[in-house]
Amino acid sequence: MKKTFQLNEIREVAKEIIGTTPGKILCFYGDMGVGKTTLVKAMVKELGAMDEANSPTFGLVNEYRGENDKPIAFHFDFYRLNDESEALDMGFEDYLAQDAWVFIEWPEKIESLIPEDAVGVFLHFVDENTRSIELNVS
């Protein structure tokens, strides 16, 4: 998948990613402010989470549950991580083992911990209201 979209089309993009990606582990790459968290919020909403998604920058991970109280998504933001051992200490591998979507912002901070089948989601600025997105499936 490779496309250019307006920010007001983010829900449609989220729906398309959920419907076409071959796996549930997604790594979001892009500059600060490009819309990684905004896209994750839209995806969490599309998946039917009971809570509104927000950035887990300070807590490193947010967990979202569906109507049956079962986890449907984990959202990581590793921007403030100093090294991979911090991710291991918080139980990152345990999150990966669950049957839930895993959204990872700043995955370059934990590169050796990313599963081989993770899907790379690359966001780029086009202009103030336009972004391009590309999914890389390994």
- Please tell me the distance from the alpha carbon of residue 121 to that of residue 94, in angstroms, as a whole number: 22
Average confidence (pLDDT) over 126-132: 95
pLDDT at 55 over 90: no
Residue 14 pLDDT class (50, 70, 90 cuts): very high
pLDDT in tens, 89-108: 999 999 999 999 999 999 99
Say whether pTM exceeds 0.85.
yes
- Return the closest-CA partner of residue 37 out of 129, 95, 103: 103
- Please tell me the distance from the alpha carbon of residue 55 to that of residue 53, in angstroms, as a whole number: 7
Average confidence (pLDDT) over 107-133: 96
Average confidence (pLDDT) over 25-37: 95
